Chain A
Amino acid sequence: MSGRAAGAERSFEWSTIAPWLRDRGVYVAFAVMVVFNLIFTENFASLITLYNLLIQVTPVLLCSLGLALVIGTEGIDLSVGSIMALSSAAVPLYLGYGWPAALAIALLVGAFAGAINGSLVAFAGIQPIIATLAMLVAGRGLAQIFTNGQLLTVTDPTVLALGQARPFGIPAPVIVAVVAVLVVAFLMKRTTFGRYVLAIGGNRSASYLSGHPVRRTLLAVYIISGLLAAVAGIVATARLSASDPSNIGLLIELSAITAVVVGGTPLTGGRVRLAGTVMGALLMQLILTTFISNNLPFTVAQVLTAGIILVAVYVQKGRGAA
C-alpha cells in the first residue's frame, strides 16, 4: 500500500506479491522455521522429531478445525480449551462403566457444551465472543468441580491406546487428526451444510432471506466445534494417562485461532481454508517446539507468541485492499 506512493513499478510488484503472501505465507513461514531448525536445533532432522511434532499438534489441530468452521460463519469460539477440560474430566469419572461409555459421555459433554454455545448465539442472539467467554470460565470451573480440581489417572488400555498406540508405526493421534481433517473437508466441500456455513459468514441477512436454515447451521457449527474439542480432550487425556482439568487445553483457543487466521481464513467470515488451517496449526506447534528446544523460558515464549498472533492477523487484514 505504501508502495503505491513510491512509484508505479514498485506498487505493481507489491500488489502481485501481497495477496500471494497472505494466502501462501503460512507455507513460506513453515519452510523458514524448518530451515532455521535444521541449522540451529540439534537432532531436528529425524523421524522422532516429525512424529513428536505431529502428535503434539493434534489437540491444537482438532480445535482449529472446529474454529475454522465457526470463524467461517463470522463467529468465534473461545471455549474450546475448557470443553477439552470438561470432556477430559468425564473420561476417568465414567470409566467404571467401561471405555465405550466413558468415551461416548466425553463426546456428549463436548457436544452439549457446544450446543449451549450454539443456542446462545443462534437463538438468543448473543454475541459469540460473550457466549463462549462465559463458557470458557464456567466450563473450566465445572470441570474442576467434577474432579475436585485434582489430577485423575487413567489406566484403561483402550483409552490410552488413543494417545499412545502406533498401528503400522503411525501414532494414533496422527490417525485421529487425519480422519478429522478428512471429515471436516468433506463437510465443507461436498455438502450443502458447507455452502450454508460460507453463505452465513459472507452475509447473514442475505443467507436468511435466501431461505437458508441459518440458526440450525449456526447451532451445528458450534456443536461440531465442541465435539472436535472433546476429541482433542480425549486424545490429550490418553497421552497424559491422566485427566488434569486445571491444565488441559489451557489457552489453546489462542493457538487455535491463530492457526486458523495464519492459514488464510479471514476473521470476517465467508471463507474457510482447511489446508491452510492444518499448516497454520503445524506452524504454531513448530514455533513452540523451537522455543522449547532452544531453552527459551515459557514466559518469554508467551510474549513472542502474542507478537506472532498480532503480526499474523495484521498481515491477514487488508485482504483484497492491495
Chain B
Amino acid sequence: MATGHVQAAEDGSPAGEGGASRRGRLFALLQRRGAIVVLLLVVVAASLRFDSFLTERNLENIALQSSFLGLIVVGMTFVIISGGIDLSVGSQLALGGVLAALMVPVSWVLAILVPVAVCGLIGCGQGLLIAKARMAPFIVTLAGLLGIRGLALALAGEQPIGIANDSPFVWFGQGQILGLTTPIVFLIAAFAVGALVLTRTRYGQAVFAIGGSEESARLMGIPVERTKIIAYTTSGALSGFAGALLAASLAAGQPVAGAGWELDAISAVVVGGTLLTGGAGTLSGSFAGVLLLGILLNVINQLGTLGSYTQQLVSGVFLIAVVLVQAYLTRRQRS
C-alpha cells in the first residue's frame, strides 16, 4: 500500500489509489490534510473569541514561539517518514543553547556554527548506531535524551549562561529580516528547503521508500544506511541550531530548555498527517501541526486559567487523541 500512497501524497492526484471508494478517498484526504482544516477552524474561533488574537503583534509572537519547535519538527518529519523516531531533540536543543552561550565570548560565528556542528555530530553518532549497528531508534535516542541533557547540564555547571546583549550573536534571536524576527525567517526557510528536498530529490524518495519497506528499499539498491544517518544528523543539527536561536532570543543558554519537546515535535508531525509507521507524510502538514500547537498554547495562555502542569496533561492527551483519530481514518480508508 505504501508506494501508491506516497505517489498520491506527492502530486495530490488520486490515481495512486484507483480502487479506493470515494468515501475512502475522503478519509485519506482528511488524514493527510485534517491539520489544515482544524488550523483554520481554530484561527476563526480564536479570533472571534479574543480581540487581541488577530493583531500583528500576537501573530508574530505565535510565529516566534513556534519557530524553535518548528526547526526541530523539520528534522523529526524526515526521521519519522523514514520509519524511525528521535527522542533526543529536546536535550539537543538544550546542548545547542549552552554551546552557543559558551562560544559567544570567543566569536559570534563560532556561537552559531559550533552548536550545529556538535549536535549534528551527536545526531550522526545516533544514526550510525541505528543504521549500522541496527539498534532500535527509540532506545538509542532515549539514551541520547539522558546523556545529552547530562552533558548540557555539566557544561553549563547546572546554571543558565548569560549572553551579552551587545554581542552581534543576539541578532540571530532578536534581529529583523524583511520586517520579520530572525527565527521566523529561518523557520520558513527550513520548511521550504525541507519540502523541496523531501518531494523533489532522490534523497526524499529514498526516505519515503525506506519508511514504506526497508527490505524493499534495500533490494532496490537504495543506500538505506546512508539515508538514515543523514536523517538523524539533520535532526540533531537542526535541534542544535534551534537551541542556538533560542539562546540568542532569550540572551541566555538554558541547560534545562526543551524538556518534553520531543513529545510536542512528534505531536506536530503526527497532527500533520505523517504516519508514525513511516512511508507517508508531508512537511506542509507538519508546518500546520506546528502552528496548531503554537496557537493552542497561545489560546491556553490567553485563557489564563491553566497552569504548566495542566499543559503537560493537555499535550499528552492531545497526542493520544490525534493518534487515535489518525488510526481510525487510516483503517476507514483501507476498508
Residues of B within 8 A of A (CB): 85, 87, 129, 133-136, 138-140, 142-144, 146-151, 153-154, 158, 260, 262-263, 266, 276-277, 307, 309-313, 315-317, 319-320, 323-324, 327
Contact = CB atoms under 8 A, between A and B. Distances in A.
Nearest to B260: A137
Contact of B135 (A145, A149, A302, A313): A313
A140 to B, nearest CB: 7
A92 interface: no
B139 A309 contact: yes
Contact of B327 (A126, A145, A251, A257): A126
Contact of B276 (A130, A135, A305, A314): A130
Contacts of B315: 137-138, 141
Contact of A124 (B146, B277, B324): B324
B133 A134 contact: no
A302 B150 contact: yes
Contacts of B277: 127
Given A254-B146, A310-B143, A303 B316 contact: no
Given A306-B144, A310-B143, A144 B149 contact: no
B316 A139 contact: yes
A134 B320 contact: yes
A300 B316 CA distance: 30
Contacts of A149: 309
Contacts of A306: 143-144, 146-148, 150
Nearest 9 pairs of A and B residues by beta carbon? A138-B316, A306-B147, A302-B150, A141-B312, A299-B154, A141-B313, A144-B309, A303-B150, A137-B316
A184 interface: no
Contacts of B311: 141
A134 B263 contact: yes
Interface residues of A, number: 43
B135 A130 contact: no
Contacts of A126: 320, 323-324, 327
Interface of A: 76, 78, 120, 124-127, 129-131, 133-142, 144-145, 149, 251, 254, 257, 261, 267, 297-303, 305-307, 309-310, 313-314, 317
Given A124-B327, A306-B144, A129 B263 contact: no
Nearest to B321: A134
Contact of B312 (A131, A133, A138, A310): A138
Nearest to B87: A133
A267 B139 contact: yes
Contact of A317 (B134, B148, B266, B276): B134
Given A302-B150, A302-B153, A127 B142 contact: no
A302 to B, nearest CB: 3
Contacts of A144: 309, 312
A300 B154 contact: yes
| Residue in B135, B263, B310, B320 whose Cβ sees the most chain A Cβ within 10 Å | B320
Contact of A307 (B147, B312, B316, B324): B147
Contact of A302 (B138, B147, B319): B147
A258 B323 CA distance: 28
A288 B150 CA distance: 14
Nearest to A126: B323
Contact of B310 (A133, A141, A313): A141
A251 B146 contact: yes
Nearest to A144: B309
Contact of B313 (A124, A142, A307, A310): A142
12 contacts: A78-B142, A124-B324, A130-B320, A133-B266, A137-B315, A138-B316, A142-B313, A254-B142, A305-B146, A306-B150, A314-B129, A314-B135
